[in-house]
A and B are shown apart, each in its own frame.
Chain A
């Protein structure tokens, strides 16, 4: 079953913050976050593992709540380059093939 992302779309002004959520009805082992710009491949942002700590990458960070089976991606002081579609992927158990099941995506537009 695919994870559910919210919101579906968000429009920001440069410098504003955003939160994208990813929820699953199944127990999560790992949550992978990717950003995809139009016509390009998904680019790996970060991964959160069950039992792992919160990760950060520049002004983008994420958390993983095992009890709620939910991950959240935090974009702080957004830049124009943050625009794109953000996908969360769940699964990725490394010793079981590791397929990723992606959510439907959240389209983020950062305006000047």
Chain B
């Protein structure tokens, strides 16, 4: 069964550094999402991406954040100048066109020290 994959599973970085989180969505999916979950809290929407551009972003997705689909398979989330409060689990999700079900990847735990 196809699934969304994410790498790395755990990333530790120092405050102020840049990180790139990688996702490989399910191959025939066209809509891509990033969500984050601070430990013990709910899942929060960050950004949606379709047709090589951002469809919508939340207030959390400030100008330190960017997304990219550099090739036909990868979908990346870059965070510049990381802050302690960026520490969270980051989930990538994808879905097909004309279907609303979203499938989540296993997540990347980001720890900013």
Contact = CB atoms under 8 A, between A and B. Distances in A.
B48 A102 contact: no
A100 B42 contact: no
A56 interface: no
B71 to A, nearest CB: 22
Contacts of A43: 104
Interface in A64-112: 87, 89, 92-105
8 contacts: A40-B107, A42-B43, A44-B102, A94-B95, A97-B55, A98-B31, A98-B95, A105-B42
Contacts of A22: none
Contacts of A36: 43
B43 A87 contact: yes
Interface of B: 31, 33, 35, 41-45, 48, 50, 55-56, 58, 91, 95, 97-107
A49 to B, nearest CB: 7
A2 interface: yes
A47 B100 contact: yes
Contacts of A92: 100, 102
A12 B50 CA distance: 42
A81 B85 CA distance: 33
A42 B4 CA distance: 12
B45 A101 contact: yes
Given A41-B91, A41-B105, A94-B99, A102 B42 contact: yes
Nearest to B39: A39
Contacts of B95: 94, 98
B38 to A, nearest CB: 12
Given A32-B102, A44-B104, A92-B102, A97 B31 contact: yes
Given A2-B42, A87-B42, A100-B43, 13 more contacts: A30-B100, A32-B100, A41-B104, A42-B43, A42-B104, A43-B104, A94-B95, A95-B98, A96-B55, A101-B45, A102-B42, A102-B43, A102-B45
Contacts of B101: 32, 44, 47
